[in-house]
Every structure is written in structure tokens, then in C-alpha cells.
Amino acid sequence: MHRFFIFLYYLISRNRFLSVLFAVGIAVVCGFFASKINFEEDINQIIPKSEKSDLTAKVLKQLNFSDKIIVIIENRSKEEDFQLSETADVFLKDIEPLHKYIGSVQGKVNDSEISETFDFVNQNLPLFLNESDYREIERKIQKDSIARQVENNYVSLASPTSLVTKEFIKKDPLGITFLGIKKLNALNISKDFRLEDNYIVTKDGKNLLLFIDPKNKSNDTKNNENFINQLNEIKDHLNTRLQGKTEISYFGSPVIAVANAQQIKKDIRNTVMISMTVLLVLLMYYFRNFFTPIIVFLPTVFSVLLALLILYFIKDKLSAISLSVGAILIGITIDYALHILTHYKHNNNIEELYKEITQPIILSSATTAVSFLCLIFVRSEALKDLGLFAALTVILSSVTALIIVPQLYKPKEKGGHVNTNFIDRIGSYPYEKNKPLIIICSVIIIACIFGFRKVGFNEDIGDLNYIPKDLKISEAKLQKLSDITSKSIYTISYGNSENEALTRNSGLNRFLEKEKKEGKILSYNSIGNVVLSEQDQQKRIIAWKEFWTPDKKKQTVSELVRNGNGFGFNSSAFDQFNENLNKNYTTLSLKDYERVKALQLPEFLSQENGFYTVSNVVKVDEDKRNAFIKDIEKKHEALAIDRQQMNENFLGLLKRDFNTLINYSLLAIILTIIVFFRNFELTVLTMFPIVLTGVVTAGILYFLGLELNIFSTVVCTLVFGVGDDFSIFLTQAMQKEHTTGKNELPTYRTSIILAVFTTILSIGSLIFAKHPALHSLALVALIGMFSVIIITSTLYPFWFRLLITNRTKKGLSPITFRLFLNSVLSFIYYGLGGLFFSLIGSIFVKRSKGRKLNLIKLIIARFLTSVLYTNPFVKKKFIKNPDEDFGRPAVLIANHTSFLDTLTMAMTTHKIIFLVNDWVYNSPVFGKIVRALGFYPVSQGIENGIQQLKEKVGQGYSLVVFPEAERSYTNDIKRFHKGAFYLAEQLGLDIVPVYIHGNSEVQPKGDFIIYDGAITVKVGDRIRKEDESFGKSYSERTKKINAFFRERFAELRNELEDENYFRKKLFLAYLYKDNEVVQAVKQDFNRNKSVYYELNKHIPKDANILHLADDFGQKDILLALQQAGRRIFSLIEDEEKRRIAEQTYLVKRRKIHYLKSIEDINKKIDVLLISDKDFDLSTLPELPETIICMNGKNNTFSTANYSLKFGSETLQVFRSQ
């Protein structure tokens, strides 16, 4: 991958002018299309989608929540006759120029509106009457009632009342219309107010309220800001002018929204100025360059423009909200440029720079982008837009950073002295070696593991609002005046036609009335008894006709005329009333209702694209709220919406969506890292700090008593992404150290520290913000970022070195998680079984004799053998000797290289007694059973145990002795000690050689890991005690049997060790190294394994070899594995390859030496192995007897004095003549 960017770098360098024109052209094109994008500012786009929430979103989209601005005019005057209406008149006049912002102003009722309302009800009276009203009318048309009413009317007309009242009496002398008007009380704002001077005032007359209905929605802060500012100017002007008489204050969603927007702008403006200033100074200080900070931001700018260009062609509309959140999240893209700059500063070789930095940057951006792309699985359009925008920007910023930054930034050439600063010193400090710091971090992590699940999530959006002090005072005033600000539940009937919606609302209205009578709700505002469906209107007209029979009409009018004559009313005074009684009433349409301003139908009714909604406002006690909502949605085709609860529910859904996102992201990141590293263990190690960061951040929040909210959850995603980047970069650094031995950690850590500074400065500086949402966001960011940097800088290198690097330094093979798990399970099984037999079995052994004891020993032998079979990746093979049944006791001798040898010997026969070391004899796990079985500790001396061992031999037991006395690190047979042969001589026993092959590779000395491989046990021919061909004395027999054993074991090795035998051991030697190295070694072995197998035959097992190489040391490892006695001097001219070869674990276990120059050789060379065809042999002081050329003859080798002993296309063996 890095080769492509190197090619691109040189291509752009050669064509700078054209490249600049091309870049400017791309920027212009991207900017043009970005300006054409349609942005959608609908907050509903963030609502998670489902069948129910789709309907909810549809209702919410056209529902009018009456987000009014409440104007409170408070009486501060001590004059009793002061009228609040005077201030209200002035205020209304002053806001007239703001008509473009104001839809309507409520709170003042004109006489014309009263008359209009009366006439409307009077002309459509049947539609406003119900059964209880007809009972009241029946009472009113009784003779005595009519007489009283006529008298009252006369008194009213004779008094100095208004003309409006006289018109009312003329049209309806019985006052039946007022029964219908009572239905309009359901539309009243509150029972706590009354009309005074045509204004709504509180009952005590000290406060007057006006309600401004803005034309723009409350979330349209862009247009509302200017409106609110002008309103505040009017308020301040009037408060100054009328000081001491009245005081005006505002409250309402639009005012709060504008206050929030202004505070956010102010906070961001202030913090951005501070953070950018500090950041620019910091970058200029570190890079000693004024223009470097500008370079940092260029890739991000280009990536944003390119992302918008792509989105323009694949999306019709984009959520403005998602882009706003995305703009915060993509702040991490600056880090890519910083990583490149930091590494370029420390290494000005462009090709090495790309080789080091390309993979971690592309991998970091890929994992972050993939995690953002997981947002497409969340049921929210806004979050899907966010995922696409952020993913595109992140991946594009990494690519553009790799292209742009090296072109524009030119580091100074390295001189003799490298200037360092405090950032370099912070980065170079070995935190992973600070034990107190590691202990403190570990304790905090353990504590957080118990606390992170308990961290709360605040779903109350109100806690995230910024409410200025003056608005809080206004809110407190309203709460004292009435329940206007108390919690309301909106019950909404809906339908696909006007009639359907109104019919459902009528049923809902009857339910609400019933609930009110039963005390389940406090009050409700509804048009259910006012605006009826066509069917309900017809029913009421029929009820009117059924009530007013012709006789009842005639009798009522006659009584009115008769009683009116007594007060001087002429006969025509009641003609209009008579006409109303006999009128042919028809149903009304919504347009008819809408003509009456006092009904304020737009507050309750709305329709869009043939979908109608009718809303009702219900006041209910908090403890009865849930039951009421369930009843509404269960029994009616309606929605019950508690605005606060709705926000909390939606935030709860978003919280669950983010939890889903985290799960998807983790899976996606794991898969992406596996694809890049191609290694499960490196993936787990890389994920280790990422997961820990999340646990620690949540745990600290819990212990500090803080809660997460929707905004801080988004920041957690950012921290998650940053932690992912840092972990990948540190994996690259540690992998490079493991590969070459070169400690690059300070450089990587410095770039990470710079990235942390940028993130803390850009987001963490919001800790000084006054807005609660921004403040909480910054707090989580700070905690998260500090957790990231401490974990990645301290614990991650510590664990990487503990699990991987330190094993290599100790001469132990790197291991995989499967090898570790298999080994642990096998040893647990062995330990538990050994403990059982030691505690229980030893009791039975002491009490048993004969066949019973023989059975117990057979069971124990089978258990020991079963331990080997717990690992399915180790093949087991037992080669029996047909002439040996172990019927006669003997001394069994075997080679000793592994802890598994004891278990392996159990495959031969169960009738054996081991001579053991003290640690086995006194073991707390299996010491008791060892002693009970009669095993003998060699530390007590062979001579002292002759009698005891003789008794066991007499019982038919053979003795098992490992004559090498201790385990060997290699598969070579070491010198035999005389003890076994002394015993055989003293006890008159034959000797049976047992050859154990494979244990030296499966479970080598000094390691507890059981590696994949094959164990073969072969029983040799019995060497009888009278066979003098091996000598007469035990001393002589020791030497000859030792030599004989070596010969037979070598033959066994030749039979079993094919060209693939050391394949897994070789590959493990390069495990976790750079992928290029791993692939090169694997390809080389798979291509040349037959050559290497043949090569082994032509080199003596104890030869001194000079290897002129151009590889990563894999040939040296194979030669040393095949014969541990070989001493190999390898000269690799490529410094990086030589460093890689030096870092293999076998260099510590075998005699492999890597030379920097030919002069470093201090031994006589037996074999010259040439695999570097271009090496100049004339530089060698002398040539050895054997010269072997691989992959073609060396160009400088003259064969004049050598003859070809073996030749093939890939291997030639020459010996001096």
C-alpha cells in the first residue's frame, strides 16, 4: 500500500504546477456542488423509525404545540386605579412593526369577537346542545320560568347596558344560546384568569397575559433570533419608561431556544478562539514553523468538500443536524496530519516515512469510518446521514493527508544535535516501566469494572437546556399564577379525512369528560363538543327537531308574547327567536367553523396531504399519567403525547441505537483490524485499550456521580474512535520494536500526545462553557481522553511486552491465544487429576497389594497418558517393539528434553518406578502419590536406594531413568550419567532404550506452552545384561550405550523429520512481526522447503557455518533447528533485515550470530553458505573446504579449486580439491 503513495509523491513532485491547478479545480468543483445541497432542518429526522413512530413523526410534523411567547405584564404601581390595559395597549402598538414575525397575538378580546361568537352559536344552536342542555331548556320554557326571564330582560334593557347585550336579548330572549356558548369554555386557557377591559388578567388583577404566536417554529432560531432581540428591546424600553408602574417579562419555547442558540454560539466562539490560539502556538512551537498549523487543517478541508460532493450525487436531502454533529466528530481527522508531521520530523526519508505511517493511518481511518457506517443500521434518517458524512470524511482525510502533508512540509535535515522540547520529553518517558503508575492504573481499572455498568443515562432534555436567570424568574411567576407551565399531555385524534378525525375526536372528548368527572384528570381543553363530525351534527339537528315539536314552539312563543305585553313589548319583539325555532338547520364544514376567530381552530386542527389531526390538551397528576396514556392509546384511535416524556422516549431509543451502534462498531473494527493485521492476537491486543477506555470512562463517570446524555454519548463515540486510532498506532510501534528491536515508541507516543492536545483543546475547552449540554460534553471528553492516553501509553506497551516481546528476549517462542488456552487447560486437567490421586489415590495405594495395586497403577498410567490427549493439535504415536512386553523388569532409559517425558513414558507400561528429582518427590500437587507409589528421589543417592529399588524390582517393576539427568534445551542427546547403568549392574537388570521424539519441540524446557507437533515414542531392543558388546563395566557401558542411543535416535529423526517438520516452529519465530516479513518468510519456505531439507544433508551437525545472506534469518533458524550443535555466523548487509533476523527468539537458544562485517568472524569456518548472489567473495580472507551456493552460483565465486559434489537448479555443493 505504501508503494502507491510513494509513487504518487514523486509524480506530484515532478508536476507541482499541474498538481496545484488540479487541487484548486477539485476544490472549486466540490464547493460548487456542496452549495447546491438541500439541507433539511426537521428535528423529527432524528426520531428512530418504526411503525408506531412513523405515525408519531407524521402527527408531530403537522401538530401545533402552541409554542407561544407568553408576555407577563405585572402591576408594580401603588395606585389602586392603575389599569394594566394601558401598558398592554402601548405594548401591542410597539410590536406592530414586527408583524412579519408574528402570526397572531392572543389575550385581548374585542366586542366584535364576542358578538361574532354569539351570532355563530345562535345561528347554529342545535350543534352546540346536548342532552343535559335540553333538560335545562325544558325548565326554561315552563310558564313561570318564561315570566321571570321576560322580567329580567326588561330590567336589562331598561338599565344603561351595552348595545351588544340588547342584541343578545332580541335574538335569544330565553338565553338558550348561552348554554351553547358554555361549550366554548373547554377552549379556555385556564380557570385562573378573567376578562378585564377586554384583556386576560389573573383573578387578583395584578398580572395581565398576552400570547404571541410566532410565524416561525420555535426550533427555527435563525429567524427567531432577530425577532426575540427586537422584542427584548421593546421590553427594556417599556420597563425603563414605566418603571415603578409595570414590569414586562417573557417566557416560552421560542425565547428559550434563542437563548440556547445564542449561548452555544457564544460558548463555541469563545472556546474556539482560546483553543485555536493555544493549538496554533503549540504547533508552531513544536514544529518551529509558522505555516505548519495551516498544513494540518488542509486535508480536513479537502475531505469535507469531497464528502459533500459525493453526498450531493447519492442523497436528495441531507440532515443539517447530522452534519453539525459530524462536524464535531471529524475533528479527529486532524490527527492524521499530525501523525505524519511528527514522524516526518523524526525521519525525513520519504520512503521510510510512507512505509511506517501508511498502514496505521489507513487502518485507523478505516476502522473509524466502518464504525460510523454502522449508523446506517440505526432506524434514524439523521443518524444515517451522519454515518455517511463522517465515514466519507474520515477515510478521505487519511488519504488526502498522506498526499498533501509530505508535499507541503519539509523537515530540517538531521544534524549532529536533535532539538527536543517538552512534548518530545513527555513522549519519550517510559510510562510502561513505571511500576507505581501501572499499579495505580490497574486498581482504577478494577474499580471501574465494577462501576461502569451502573453509570446512568439522563433522558431529560430539559436538563440540557440553557435558561437565563430572567427566564427562570418569568417561569417562576407563571407557576405561581396558574398551571400554564405545568406538564400537559396532548391527546391527538387523527384520520385520513376531516370526518374521520372529528368522529374519533368526539369519542375521545366523551372519554375525557368521563375521566374528569371520575377525578382521573384535572382538566382538559378540547374542541370535541364544539367542532363535530357531519354524523354527530346530523344527530344533534335531529335531537333539536325532536325536542321542538310544533306545539312546544307555539306554546313557548305565545308565553313570551303574553308576558312581553305586560312590560310593553310589541308582538314583533320575538319574531327573530321564532324564526330560529323554525329554521331548517344544516351541517357545517371546517371552513364555517374557521370563520369564527374566537374558536382559534388552528390551535387544535391541522391537515397536510389529506391527513388530519385534532389535538386536545389534558392536565393530569404525575402519578396517574402512565395509566391515562395507556387507556388513551388502548381504547381510542389516538396518540397521547407528553412532550417531555416523548423527548425522553426518543432519547431512550437513540441511546439503545447507540448501544447497538457500539456493538456493530466493535464487530466492524475487529473485522477491519483482522483484515489489516491478519492476526487474531494482534487484533485482541489492539482492541484491549479501546474496550478498557470505555470501561474506565463510564466507571469514572459513575464514581463522580455524573450521568451520560445524548450529547456526551456522541462524544463517547469520538473518544472511542480516538482510542481506536491511538491503539492502532501503538500496535504498529510495538510490532516494529518486536520486528527490528528498534524502539519507535517515543515517536509514536509524541504524535499521539499532540493528537490528544488537539482533541482536548478543541472539545475539552468547552468545560468553560455555560451551556449545560456543551459543559457535559466537554467533561466526558476530558475524562475519556485522559483515560485513552494513560491506558495506551502505560498499560498497552506493558502488556504487549509482557505477552510478546519479553518472551522473545528470554528465548521463548511467541505464542498464539489457542496455544496458551490449550496449554492452560491441559495443565489444569493434569493438576486437578494429580491433586486427586495425591489426596485420595495415595490412601488406596498404601492399603492395596497385588492385583488391586496393579489396577490402581494402571489407572494412574492411563491418566498420565490422557493428559497428552487433552491437546488435539499434538499427534501421538507409540511404536511398539514386538519383542518387548516388559514382562521382565529392566532399566528403561530415555532422552529427556521436556516436562512431558514423564507422561510419555506412561505409554510404555504401567509397571514402572521413576527415579525423580526433589521437586517432583516433594510436590504439593502430586508428591503424596509419588511417594506412595515408591518413586525414588535421586538426591538421596543411588547407593542408598539399592535395597528399596530391589524390592520393587522383585515385585516385577521396571525402573525409569533419564540418564542425561536434566532436560535439554535442544533435541541433541547429551552425555549420559552412570547412575542408570550402575543400577542395572547392581540389580542385574537389562537395559531397554526408549526413544522420545518431538517433546523438545512440543514442550521445550523453560516454557509452559504445549506447541503443535507430534510426539513419537519408540521402544528399542533390549540390551541384555550379559551382552558384552557394550562393555563389561557400567562405566564402559554408559559411553557405548550413549553413542548407540544417539545413532538410533538420529535414525528415528531422519525417519520422522520431513521437509515440513520445522515449518510451524519457523513460522512462530516470525509471529507478530510486520506482515511483509511474515509473508516473505512463508513464501520463501513454501517455495524452497525441499531445498532446505536437502541442504541439511550436506552440512555436518557440528559445523561452523558462515552464511552470506540476504533474507530475514529464516535459513539460519532452520539449520539450527535441524542440528543444535551447528554454530552459524550470518552476514546480512541490509541493516534492516539483519535487525529483523537478530530479533528471533532462537538466537537466544541456538548458536546463531549476526555479523556487521566480515572482520567480526573469530572462528574457523567449515562451511560457506551463499544465498546472497551479489556478495563479493574477494573480501573474504580465505575460503573454507565446503562452499554451498543457493538459488544460483555467486557471481564472484571461482570454481577453479573446487569440485561439484551435488548440483541442482537451486543448490550446488562444492568441496575443495
H/E stretch holding 576 = helix 575-581
Q: Report CA torsion sign: 949, 954, 955, 960.
A: positive
- Which tens digits make up the pLDDT trace of 190-226? 556 677 777 878 877 788 888 888 888 766 767 788 8
Highest mean pLDDT range out of 86-95, 401-410, 635-644, 987-996?
987-996
Q: Which three cell numbers stand for residue 1122?
A: 535441524
Mean pLDDT across 1195-1204 = 77
Whether residue 107 has pLDDT greater than 60: yes
What pLDDT score was predicted for residue 922? Answer: 81
In this structure, how many other beta carbons lie within 10 angstroms of the beta carbon of residue 736? 18
What pLDDT score was predicted for residue 414? Answer: 56
- Reported confidence tier of residue 186, pLDDT bands at 50, 70, 90: low
* Residue position matching grid coordinates 456542496: 34
Residue ranges and CATH numbers for the domains of the chain are 854-1056 (3.40.1130.10), 1065-1216 (3.40.50.150)
* Residue position matching grid coordinates 513419537: 1016
What pLDDT score was predicted for residue 320? Answer: 56
* Residue position matching grid coordinates 454502522: 374
Mean pLDDT across 373-398 = 77
What pLDDT score was predicted for residue 44? Answer: 44
Alpha carbons 724 and 722: distance in angstroms, whole number: 5
- Which tens digits make up the pLDDT trace of 17-45? 898 898 889 889 888 887 777 665 444 44
Closest of 964, 955, 952, 953 to residue 1005, by C-alpha: 964
What pLDDT score was predicted for residue 1054? Answer: 93
Alpha carbons 291 and 409: distance in angstroms, whole number: 9
- Which tens digits make up the pLDDT trace of 700-748? 988 988 887 766 776 676 677 777 788 888 888 899 999 998 888 888 8
- Reported confidence tier of residue 659, pLDDT bands at 50, 70, 90: low
Q: Tell me the three state secondary structure of residue 971.
A: coil
When computed from its CA atoms, the radius of gyration of the chain, rounded to whole angstroms, is 47
Q: Tell me the three state secondary structure of residue 1106.
A: strand
- The alpha carbon of 280 is separated from its chain's Cα centroid by a whole number of angstroms, namely 30
What pLDDT score was predicted for residue 43? Answer: 45
What pLDDT score was predicted for residue 416? Answer: 46
Asked if 1008 contacts 822 with a C-beta cutoff of 8 angstroms, the reply is no
Q: CA distances (Å), 991 to each of 66, 185, 956, 974, in order?
A: 104, 115, 15, 18
Q: Tell me the three state secondary structure of residue 224.
A: helix
Give the Cα-Cα-Cα angle 109, 114, 118 (nearest 5 degrees): 155
Asked if 752 contacts 792 with a C-beta cutoff of 8 angstroms, the reply is yes
Asked if 431 contacts 753 with a C-beta cutoff of 8 angstroms, the reply is no
Alpha carbons 152 and 150: distance in angstroms, whole number: 5
What pLDDT score was predicted for residue 876? Answer: 93
- Which tens digits make up the pLDDT trace of 952-1000? 888 888 999 999 988 888 888 999 999 899 999 999 999 999 999 999 9
Which region among 17-31, 484-498, 644-658, 752-766 has the lowest average model confidence (pLDDT)?
A: 644-658
Whether residue 52 has pLDDT greater than 50: no
Q: Which three cell numbers stand for residue 857?
A: 497403577
Mean pLDDT across 105-113 = 75
Largest CA distance in the chain: 162
* Residue position matching grid coordinates 450525487: 313
What pLDDT score was predicted for residue 57? Answer: 52
Mean pLDDT across 755-771 = 75
Which region among 348-352, 414-418, 586-590 has the lowest average model confidence (pLDDT)?
A: 414-418
Q: Report CA torsion sign: 168, 173, 175, 177.
A: negative
- Which tens digits make up the pLDDT trace of 779-804? 887 888 888 888 988 988 999 998 89
Whether residue 308 has pLDDT greater than 80: yes
- Which tens digits make up the pLDDT trace of 1045-1079? 999 999 999 999 999 999 999 999 999 998 889 99
Q: CA distances (Å), 554 to each of 248, 560, 568, 571, 808, in order?
A: 57, 10, 21, 14, 115
Closest of 749, 995, 866, 771 to residue 256, by C-alpha: 771
Beta pairing partners, 1128: 1105, 1152
Q: Tell me the three state secondary structure of residue 105.
A: strand
Q: CA distances (Å), 629 to each of 443, 513, 517, 525, 937, in order?
A: 48, 15, 17, 16, 83
In this structure, how many other beta carbons lie within 10 angstroms of the beta carbon of residue 994? 22
Alpha carbons 352 and 94: distance in angstroms, whole number: 72
What pLDDT score was predicted for residue 81? Answer: 57
Alpha carbons 388 and 356: distance in angstroms, whole number: 29
What pLDDT score was predicted for residue 189? Answer: 47
Return the amino acid letter for 82.
Answer: F
Residues 6+ apart with CB under 8 A from 231: 69, 95, 98, 212, 250
